[in-house]
Structure 1
Amino acid sequence: MSSHPTTRPPFAPRRRGSAALLTALVVDSLGNGLFLPLSLVFFLRLTDVPLAQLGLLLTLANALALPVPVGVGVLVDRLGARPLVVSAQLLQAVGFAAYAHVHGAVGVFAASVLVAVGVRVFWSSVFTAIAEAAEADGADGADGADGADGAARLGRAWSTDTWFSVANGARTAGLAVGGLATGLVIADGRDGTYAAVAYASALCFAVAAVLIAVVVPSPRRARTSRPADRGAAAGPGGVTGYRVLLRDRPFAALTALNTVYALTSMMLGLALPTVVLSVLRAPGWLTAAVLAGNALLIAVLSAPVGLRTARFRRTRVLVVASGLWTAWALGMALLAPGRLGVVVVLLVSVTLLFTAAELLHAPASTALAAAAAPEGARGRYLTVFQYSFTVASIAAPAFFTALASVASALPWLVLAGLNAVSTGVLLRLERRLPPASLRG
């Protein structure tokens, strides 16, 4: 008789390299969380560059990095995601270390370009790295799945959806802890403390790079067959491969829909301070409390939600998320000034709808995009998919300010309409996506 399998925690990955990847994501996000809230204040305190010129330099640095993902997608398909993720983190480590030494416009621009390129390379490769880790985790379980013990081990393997959920929670936890630490820096206010933040961020990225380079193994890059009508995208590389991708109309429609979802996901952090102060006429601490609560819930609930939603169709999970976002946006449109206690209860209640939608959307959308890609083209597919977030981040400030200048409720009504329409479009698109991509 076989012995009983060793009990494993339900949220523990199978492989040591997988745990190292998640740890690296937390450390990476900690580095971002430390510096991101200080980016403008940091340069204003430690350099002689005026605010207007500083904003132009940072915008130009990010604009120069916009084409980078196109080449990264090809490299990911040829080399694997791991070396690209490591390179991205090292670029950011060098850039953040340089921040502590620059004083003029040229230095600020050069260091910002390094960081901007590193950020683009990271986001263009990290999701493929997570998908590869998910496949390796499942493959290790399948290799040892013999008899009852093997079946039990295989049953505990994470799905790709769960992997993306846990990664989202890990990143959110790192950003939240880094943001809290930054609050202490602002309270201290000394120049030396600001410089220490840049060094601490650089150290975080360097540690994350070492973890992935040394502990996370290179995945086995075995190729399996896919349907013939989509497998054609696997062969050509470079520009030809992207031409094949762009003719994949269902995937283009999925990316366009995700631009709506990405825009919606950015609205809480972007618009909440204005809503709290100008519309609700509530104290500023309410914004910080709501955002912190949202981050905490995502960090804590991502893993259990990912485990439970993996059994459902990814498209249906996204439909529920868009429905929740529709309700959230309508709730934001209806908020009005009143007694502080009532305002707090109403704002927290509608924000819980946003949090639930975010918990569902983040893993399901990326897992669906990764699974919809033909073999050999996943890097390019996920790179193009990530442009939905880039477009949304560029459009979000103008979207909110232009509509809010007409009426405070208008941005939320338009956002609710976009999400409501997306539900019907997604249900129609479901029939045109590869059937194997719909479930984990």
Structure 2
Amino acid sequence: MPAYARRVTRGGPNGARTRGSRGGPVLIGALAVDSLGNGLFLPLSLIYFVELTDVPLALVGVLLTIANAVTLPIPVWAGTLADRFGALPLVVGAQLLQAAGFLAYAGVSGPVGILVSSALVAIGVRFFWSAVFTAIADLVDGTATLLSRDTWYALANGARTAGLAVGGLVTGLVVADGRDATYRAVAYAAAACFTAAAVLITAFVRTGPRRAHEPLERSGYATLLRDRPFLSLIGLNSVYALSSMMLGVALPTVVLTGIGGPAWLTSVLLAGNAVLIAVLSAPVVARLGGLRRTRCLVVAAALWAAWCASLAVLGPGQPEWVLPVLVAGTLQFTAAELVHAPVSMGLAAAIAPPAARGRYLATFQYSFTISSIVAPAFFATLFELAIAAPWIALGALELASIAGVLALERRLPADALRPVEDVRRDTTA
């Protein structure tokens, strides 16, 4: 039997599980459609309003920042709602909010319209990321799937990456066209994608009945705030989240300004990264099934540190080194991302008390939220000092995180460290 073919036994007394979930493949497909909508609009997030309104670029940037800032408390609410009512309805509601926001984009003409429509989308995005991983965990817990939870997270990661890549490719043609009607067509298409994803999930996906759990001695967030190992994991994951964002944030500037490389090189590297993530996510995680999740994170950190080292040695006037070093470095980055994304979520879900999993996983998303805020300033400030400075600093953080993960490992429950501890091999199949 393949390493990833394991019968899940979480939930219920004596290892019995609550069944009733269905539609796992449809959920993965719906996530791909959802990310197609994101991919369609992501490259246009600023230029769309500049092209279709008279609002200055600087003001557009401020309005988008405000729209995203007001969403910061949402994971706290989303986690509570997910634990009380289930995560899947939140995912559907988040997609419909984003659809409404993109429909509003098509009629925007001034600052108020930009703020309201972008806030709708931003709120939907924050609710989505605060609930989707709990929804996947609930789905796995309620079905006799032969795939581990980590593998489901990997499938979702691959599907979303594929959708983003296809959407970005399509939008590249839109930017080349440049007509107002074409820009609005992208907004309508994005709204259609989110609506289709919501309809698919509503019609075909179920996560089974809510299960009874041992009550918590304190409310979910009080328990979480006293859970120092989990808070430590959030802190460590903020370093990994920062690294995962640096390829998109920094690579164009590094190639064009730092080393004077050709403009097409960034697109090729980013496309190659997306293809490998989409294709290899599930197979790579299947190979990691027998390893401790914490050791997998150590491997990811070491790979990211090696990627940082490769960028730190580059500089202008090295044409014979640029291509091979960037390609090798991007492969190291991709390998780190393939390992980190599903394993970190699997570890967070395994640590969380079942009765508070929605709150735990929603709070875990703050590691990505904080890093998305910090990443541009972190890179730009250090890059101004020296071309190698951001990579030396980030590489040092990655190396320090290895010691942190190994120390954390001793404080985590043994049954959270390995995916195979969450599952039992089906010896009767």
- Structure 2 length normalisation: TM-score? 0.91
| Cα deviation 1:410-437 (Å, max 9, x = unaligned) | 1101111111011111011011112111
From 399, 404, 423, the equivalent of 2:378 is 399
From 128, 134, 141, the equivalent of 1:128 is 134
Runs of at least 5 residues in structure 2 that lack an aligned partner in the other structure: 6-19, 420-429
* 8 Å CA contact retained: 2:21, 2:208: no
Specify whether residues 235 and 18 from structure 1 end up closer, same or farther in structure 2 by C-alpha distance, changes over 3 A only. farther
Take 1:80 and 1:272, find their aligned partners in 2: how far apart are those partners? 39
Specify whether residues 210 and 16 from structure 1 end up closer, same or farther in structure 2 by C-alpha distance, changes over 3 A only. same
From 365, 368, 374, the equivalent of 2:353 is 374
* 8 Å CA contact retained: 2:139, 2:207: no
Take 2:138 and 2:418, find their aligned partners in 1: how far apart are those partners? 17
Name the aligned partner's letter for residue 178 of structure 1. Answer: G
Q: Is it true that 1:348 corresponds to 2:327 in the alignment?
A: yes
3-state SS of 1:311 partner: coil
Specify whether residues 235 and 204 from structure 1 end up closer, same or farther in structure 2 by C-alpha distance, changes over 3 A only. farther
Partner of 1:42 in structure 2?
48
Deviation >4 Å, runs of 4+? none
* 8 Å CA contact retained: 2:258, 2:315: yes
The residue correspondences of 1:65-214 to structure 2 (distance < 5 A) are 65-137=71-143, 140-141=144-145, 157-214=146-203
Take 1:343 and 1:244, find their aligned partners in 2: how far apart are those partners? 50
From 236, 239, 248, the equivalent of 1:257 is 236
Take 2:109 and 2:324, find their aligned partners in 1: how far apart are those partners? 46
Take 1:316 and 1:221, find their aligned partners in 2: how far apart are those partners? 33
Specify whether residues 165 and 344 from structure 1 end up closer, same or farther in structure 2 by C-alpha distance, changes over 3 A only. same
* 8 Å CA contact retained: 2:31, 2:197: yes
* 8 Å CA contact retained: 1:163, 1:306: no
Name the aligned partner's letter for residue 194 of structure 1. Answer: Y
Partner of 1:421 in structure 2?
400
* 8 Å CA contact retained: 1:250, 1:433: yes
Take 1:224 and 1:383, find their aligned partners in 2: how far apart are those partners? 19
* 8 Å CA contact retained: 2:142, 2:207: no
Name the aligned partner's letter for residue 102 of structure 1. Answer: V
Take 2:194 and 2:258, find their aligned partners in 1: how far apart are those partners? 39
Q: Is it true that 1:333 corresponds to 2:312 in the alignment?
A: yes
* 8 Å CA contact retained: 2:174, 2:182: yes
3-state SS of 2:365 partner: helix
Name the aligned partner's letter for residue 206 of structure 2. Answer: P
Deviation at 1:338, TM superposition (A): 4.1
Take 2:277 and 2:408, find their aligned partners in 1: how far apart are those partners? 28
3-state SS of 1:118 partner: helix
Partner of 2:14 in structure 1?
none
Deviation at 1:241, TM superposition (A): 2.4
Take 1:366 and 1:42, find their aligned partners in 2: how far apart are those partners? 33
Root mean square deviation of aligned Cα: 1.9
Runs of at least 5 residues in structure 1 that lack an aligned partner in the other structure: 142-156, 226-231
Take 1:381 and 1:319, find their aligned partners in 2: how far apart are those partners? 22
Q: Is it true that 1:55 corresponds to 2:61 in the alignment?
A: yes
From 382, 389, 406, the equivalent of 2:368 is 389
* 8 Å CA contact retained: 1:176, 1:295: yes
Take 1:19 and 1:163, find their aligned partners in 2: how far apart are those partners? 10
3-state SS of 1:432 partner: coil
Deviation at 1:68, TM superposition (A): 1.2
The residue correspondences of 1:225-240 to structure 2 (distance < 5 A) are 234=216, 236=218, 240=219
From 287, 290, 294, the equivalent of 2:269 is 290
Name the aligned partner's letter for residue 200 of structure 2. Answer: L
* 8 Å CA contact retained: 1:235, 1:376: no
